[in-house]
Structure 1
């Protein structure tokens, strides 16, 4: 499916016609043949022959080849034109087709058409910024040397390594922390100072007056700010004429200065072990205290002191947990708001949008007029875990198909999360309601399926850590004013290191959407793939996974789907209440093949979400010989106060705690 790239924005202007020139420029013109709008004035990641990048314009790369989310940005203050070899011009003078593109790795290259594909023939920026000047030349945490080698940073004073290479055969894939940074153990965070090391950002910082360099913070406060901020992964401090601090929420490639530049110091946040050596001073001190207490026989005194210390440390830890959400210093992070600010912007929490297991959602308005949704969490232990999961997970990731966390409040016992407002609410009311005014046609549902798939692909494969969502269901898919779908509710999500393939965890989520392997408590990202398959099937059939209004043999959608698939009667279960879905029944049944692949009982046979995206784009076919004996989970029941049993699937899920659902 095509992604939104640009809009002509010519409403109210006199447009007589359009033409597509031989150079690839789309031009809208008026009755006098004067240009009203042209695509050459709105570059994306590429420049065609004859197209100029004027001062103030920029090229924006995709995050990756499979994700069109904006990535690196290139701007050229004196103009850049793709014309020919002479002077400072770019070498585009071949008889074959050529273009310039800013690639996801930050390289600005000239591509030339070959017999079978496009080949890179010139790397334009290397002569100016050097081989090590690219953000991802050595990937995350990798240090680039002038000889083109990539290595990992390490602590010379440590007996054990702090970083390890992702691949020893491919050093350019970067490095990872041996002990991942944990917000729940922030007392063990420390900064590793790197000598003779710079960052690619500082190659341009001294000529960029709009940089994020904070010139008001000195060195010590720069370091303290990073340690207090869980989202901060590194602190950079510049000396010289532009002295100041820069905090990083993600660490790209570093540069070995080798004596060339000495005006930048890099501090990487690392997690030290919480286990102190047996001969550490702290342990000796505790032993002396115990011996002294025993010899004096002051058991009750010691008990009182220990109890008091425990209480003080608990309060201190709670305070530190609040401090670790101090994210105002990092560009792009959510804003910390006070409870009073949220009370004002929600008109004292009067306009309720929805309610669920963990709290209530209210409509709010920021001071600049922006509409938001404010989720107020209720409860204790599970709420704290949900709050931490949401802030840690989506606080510093940005994707067009993930609901954006605008801000949060962690004040006393209050825990609130502020999201972008999604005017069309959650998807369930659009696919399960049988009223014509609240319905989605085939094209809309197909686009929503693609949006969900792209969002999950980003979580599983394109973040610096894998993220398992663990609660994909229609109530957690929100729709904006243009019916673009965004995944929400990360209260149950898990952050997983890239080198981990599975995780052991307690069962959680919503019955009906849980993959069979949850019973073993050992899960992979394929549990999200299974849930995605259930959601797709619900969208195609226009009914919930469990529908008590149906005859007993048809109540469970998976059982019905399995039976109809075996008898080749899948056309019978296409949403019968939607005329547009009935018109496109053949295409809908093809999409059911995608759902079936995702619902395989053997999780190793399910596709990855990136493969699902390729299937939806038409580049990959659904696997043949699928196993139609998909597992139909036993329907759990909850005991009510009257002693009757009720279904635990749907809007209320009493047996399984899950994050707040419903419209934001």
Structure 2
């Protein structure tokens, strides 16, 4: 419903009829001004004036109503090239059958631009985010619609189309930066001849392709992320009139959008309401440095730095404000202009690198048949030459217009990069060299000090290692409070058995009560633990950097001689396995509570894999490492075996396999290969355990199954999935939710890691209809020989506690 604001504008609005007949419609005698909006009937989308970020400009746009971001997430902009400054004196209204925008001086600055008519017209904002202009009744065909004029967002239900009758394409064009929705340099359009999408720089240079459409697999060949088609329904249509690509969502409750970003990447994003943020599903090109012209003229790209774009030595951003907003396409300019006067000192060259494909985009650049020395000297003498290349004995000079179109790379260790020598002012070059010289002198002095001290440090470290304790150097990275050991002894009553909470691979855990009544869990390194010293420091360093409601919180640590102590927030309900595997305590966990626990574990894992400052693979996720607070909220614990993977990597390998049988993914247990998908496997096992109340490593001989996973798979194949359900849940279960969770659990334990969903997908699937979920494939070990199971003389309790300490990868 349109909001009428500010009483001082009452008279103005009195003469302009308010939009009251329909909240989603503008008719011929109505208009929008100020903070007035129209909202789609299901309240998913809203249209009105908006201001991007801290910009002083206003635009007419469509944004999500139920997505709580500031500023709002805009999906379409009308006047992206002609902003207004005063939204209260501007109007969006229908004139002569067209929707038009009048600015402060009542000048038309945007229009739907259809033929004028006296027929009654109306504009409706649809539930799909499509703004539709019609003549006559609501059932009349659209005369104009925003889906035919997309800006930077491609919404579900829209089409990216090539019209064969008019030879015109619908094109997505990026914003200029986060606060300027004007048309940027990057665009996405359909190549109908090859049934593929192309990303172009300046609508001319192609630097990425989706690969051709595969109609059998319903995906583009170079976008493997489209394999996750249980969330999206993709379609490509090619007939005599048009070619187009469209997509929809199997679950209409999922909010998802596809954009061409001002970074030069396409991105598929989904809204996670429980986190209050957009989650990146995939992006292409994956490497920002593969974006053509992404850093602009004389900008250099380094994927390992933030921001990824910087200026070469002797250059500075052309527009610092754009640069700060992530809009690097304007590039860099010289700090000191090159002089063509023979009286000044000659310029110098600095070395950079550029992708071969970028250079090949300029065949018009004249090739000179001269040697490299002459190539260099002639560029120095030629005033307008900005750079030169000498590749395959061919000299080329590069001028300003071409330098604006390529991105440079800071260093090269790849075969697809060529050298390019950039001309810079001698004064800027000397300043840089002077800084390097000073830095070199300082580094040399520090190096001498370092060499003198390293022997002492090494000696002390060897002594402390022999004693099995952490030295001062080791303590520097432990950014958590230190507790005196005598305080630990007092709090635990000298580690009395009465205060013992349990036993893990690291060692025993005690309850500690500190002055003032503060309760903590005290984790004590066992002197018999062969893996404790390394894991102790790993756990402190990792968990001190993590903050999430579904991760256990580290409160401090203590060390004395060979004693190593970790202090955690106290979990009065201890661990999840204590409840679900105990036939008395399990009745305290009804289905609603178990479902909340599953969701909490999923959110904690998503944070570790994607949303934290570090990308972390837990490697030992199991029911006993999920703790429950007083409200039964789950918290993932025990990060002693966790691994950080760099950047956007999601996988690694090791020759030392450590973890717990029954929860370890097959590729990790057999070959030492671990990834975020290894944690997904462990999560799937826990989900099946929560549903069934049975351990994965229990016996199921009657069903010819040696694990819970194989037992659950057998029930699924026999179309008796609900037989897996814990009898304690008979009265409280929601059968639809149970079945959904069982399917997701089986998807997570599939043998091929590529087939397993990411934790992002897991959370999305938790809200999907069962019919929309894919059929799981056979899990690992199901059809393997019985030799994988434990010997018959090992009792069940030993199997359940079995932890792998070391195994060489094969």
Instruction: Give the shorter-chain TM-score range.
Output: 0.5 to 0.7
Q: What secondary structure sits across from 2:639 in the alignment?
A: coil
String of CA shifts for 1:264-317, please: whole Å, max 9, x gaps.
xxxxxxxxxxxx9xxx989999xxxxxxxxxxxxxxxxxxxx9x9975451367
With over 3 angstroms needed to count, the CA separation of the structure-2 counterparts of 1:125 and 1:624, relative to structure 1, is closer
Equivalent residue, structure 2, for 1:345: 491
Q: CA deviation at 1:502?
A: 2.5
Q: What secondary structure sits across from 2:564 in the alignment?
A: strand
1:527 is aligned, of 655, 673, 678, to 678
Q: What secondary structure sits across from 2:536 in the alignment?
A: helix
Q: CA deviation at 1:464?
A: 3.3
With over 3 angstroms needed to count, the CA separation of the structure-2 counterparts of 1:100 and 1:600, relative to structure 1, is closer
Alpha carbons 1:476, 1:488 under 8 Å: kept: yes
Structure 1 Cα separation of the partners of residues 542 and 64 of structure 2: 41
1:563 is aligned, of 710, 714, 718, to 714
String of CA shifts for 1:470-525, please: whole Å, max 9, x gaps.
11111011111111111111111111112434222122211111111120112221
Q: CA deviation at 1:404?
A: 0.9
Alpha carbons 1:574, 1:589 under 8 Å: kept: no
Matched, 1:496 2:641: no
Equivalent residue, structure 2, for 1:265: none
Equivalent residue, structure 2, for 1:66: none
Q: CA deviation at 1:399?
A: 1.0
Structure 1 Cα separation of the partners of residues 178 and 514 of structure 2: 41
Equivalent residue, structure 2, for 1:541: 692
- Equivalent residues in 2 for 1:180-199, closer than 5 Å: none
Structure 1 Cα separation of the partners of residues 616 and 798 of structure 2: 25
Matched, 1:167 2:294: no
Q: CA deviation at 1:559?
A: 2.3
Q: What secondary structure sits across from 1:617 in the alignment?
A: coil
Q: CA deviation at 1:455?
A: 0.9
Structure 2 Cα separation of the partners of residues 536 and 359 of structure 1: 26
Alpha carbons 2:512, 2:519 under 8 Å: kept: yes
2:767 is aligned, of 614, 617, 622, to 617
With over 3 angstroms needed to count, the CA separation of the structure-2 counterparts of 1:645 and 1:111, relative to structure 1, is closer
Equivalent residue, structure 2, for 1:407: 556
TM-score normalised by structure 2 residue count: 0.44
Structure 2 Cα separation of the partners of residues 95 and 166 of structure 1: 31
1:453 is aligned, of 602, 605, 620, to 602
Alpha carbons 2:659, 2:803 under 8 Å: kept: no
- Equivalent residues in 2 for 1:252-271, closer than 5 Å: none
String of CA shifts for 1:75-121, please: whole Å, max 9, x gaps.
xxxxxxxx999xx9999998989989985xxx75686998455999x
- Equivalent residues in 2 for 1:506-655, closer than 5 Å: 506-517=656-667, 518-548=669-699, 551=702, 553-554=704-705, 556-581=707-732, 583-618=733-768, 623-628=773-778, 630-632=780-782, 634-635=787-788, 637=790, 644-647=793-796, 651-653=800-802, 655=804
Q: CA deviation at 1:356?
A: 2.4
With over 3 angstroms needed to count, the CA separation of the structure-2 counterparts of 1:446 and 1:177, relative to structure 1, is same
Matched, 1:384 2:530: no
Structure 2 Cα separation of the partners of residues 327 and 313 of structure 1: 16
With over 3 angstroms needed to count, the CA separation of the structure-2 counterparts of 1:549 and 1:572, relative to structure 1, is closer
Q: What secondary structure sits across from 1:410 in the alignment?
A: strand
Matched, 1:433 2:593: no
Q: Which has the larger radius of gyration?
A: 2
Q: CA deviation at 1:591?
A: 1.6
Q: What secondary structure sits across from 2:509 in the alignment?
A: strand
Structure 1 Cα separation of the partners of residues 772 and 672 of structure 2: 28
Q: What secondary structure sits across from 2:695 in the alignment?
A: coil
With over 3 angstroms needed to count, the CA separation of the structure-2 counterparts of 1:568 and 1:322, relative to structure 1, is farther
Gaps of 5+ in 2: 5-34, 37-48, 78-124, 131-150, 153-174, 181-261, 265-285, 296-300, 307-315, 325-443
Gaps of 5+ in 1: 1-20, 24-48, 51-82, 128-147, 151-164, 179-195, 204-275, 286-305, 659-664
Alpha carbons 2:657, 2:806 under 8 Å: kept: no
With over 3 angstroms needed to count, the CA separation of the structure-2 counterparts of 1:591 and 1:326, relative to structure 1, is same
Matched, 1:396 2:564: no
Structure 2 Cα separation of the partners of residues 636 and 282 of structure 1: 58
With over 3 angstroms needed to count, the CA separation of the structure-2 counterparts of 1:558 and 1:325, relative to structure 1, is same
- Compare the two structures and name the one with the higher strand fraction: 2
2:510 is aligned, of 341, 362, 382, to 362
Q: CA deviation at 1:339?
A: 1.2
With over 3 angstroms needed to count, the CA separation of the structure-2 counterparts of 1:346 and 1:174, relative to structure 1, is farther
Q: What secondary structure sits across from 1:577 in the alignment?
A: helix
Structure 2 Cα separation of the partners of residues 514 and 586 of structure 1: 28
String of CA shifts for 1:349-392, please: whole Å, max 9, x gaps.
33221122321111123445432111011136510121022112
Structure 2 Cα separation of the partners of residues 602 and 478 of structure 1: 29
Structure 1 Cα separation of the partners of residues 737 and 469 of structure 2: 55
Alpha carbons 1:389, 1:491 under 8 Å: kept: yes
- Equivalent residues in 2 for 1:653-664, closer than 5 Å: 653=802, 655-656=804-805
Q: CA deviation at 1:550?
A: 6.5
Q: CA deviation at 1:650?
A: 5.0
Q: What secondary structure sits across from 2:557 in the alignment?
A: strand
Structure 1 Cα separation of the partners of residues 76 and 649 of structure 2: 40
Alpha carbons 1:542, 1:575 under 8 Å: kept: yes
String of CA shifts for 1:190-224, please: whole Å, max 9, x gaps.
xxxxxx99xx9xx9xxxxxxxxxxxxxxxxxxxxx
Structure 2 Cα separation of the partners of residues 392 and 528 of structure 1: 20
Q: What secondary structure sits across from 1:503 in the alignment?
A: strand
Structure 2 Cα separation of the partners of residues 532 and 472 of structure 1: 7
Alpha carbons 1:574, 1:585 under 8 Å: kept: no
Structure 2 Cα separation of the partners of residues 311 and 393 of structure 1: 27
Structure 2 Cα separation of the partners of residues 606 and 89 of structure 1: 43
String of CA shifts for 1:613-662, please: whole Å, max 9, x gaps.
111133997652432354237555479xxxx534576552255479xxxx
Q: CA deviation at 1:608?
A: 0.7
RMSD after superposition: 5.0
Q: CA deviation at 1:125?
A: 11
1:176 is aligned, of 255, 279, 304, to 304
String of CA shifts for 1:300-337, please: whole Å, max 9, x gaps.
xxxxxx9x997545136788744443468xxxx42122
Q: What secondary structure sits across from 1:354 in the alignment?
A: strand
- Equivalent residues in 2 for 1:94-109, closer than 5 Å: 103=69, 108=71
Equivalent residue, structure 2, for 1:183: none
Q: What secondary structure sits across from 1:645 in the alignment?
A: coil
1:476 is aligned, of 619, 625, 629, to 625
With over 3 angstroms needed to count, the CA separation of the structure-2 counterparts of 1:110 and 1:525, relative to structure 1, is closer
Aligned length: 422
String of CA shifts for 1:108-150, please: whole Å, max 9, x gaps.
5686998455999x999989xxxxxxxxxxxxxxxxxxxx999
With over 3 angstroms needed to count, the CA separation of the structure-2 counterparts of 1:483 and 1:391, relative to structure 1, is same
With over 3 angstroms needed to count, the CA separation of the structure-2 counterparts of 1:428 and 1:611, relative to structure 1, is same
With over 3 angstroms needed to count, the CA separation of the structure-2 counterparts of 1:377 and 1:309, relative to structure 1, is closer
- The higher-RCO structure (CA 8 Å, 6+ apart) is 1
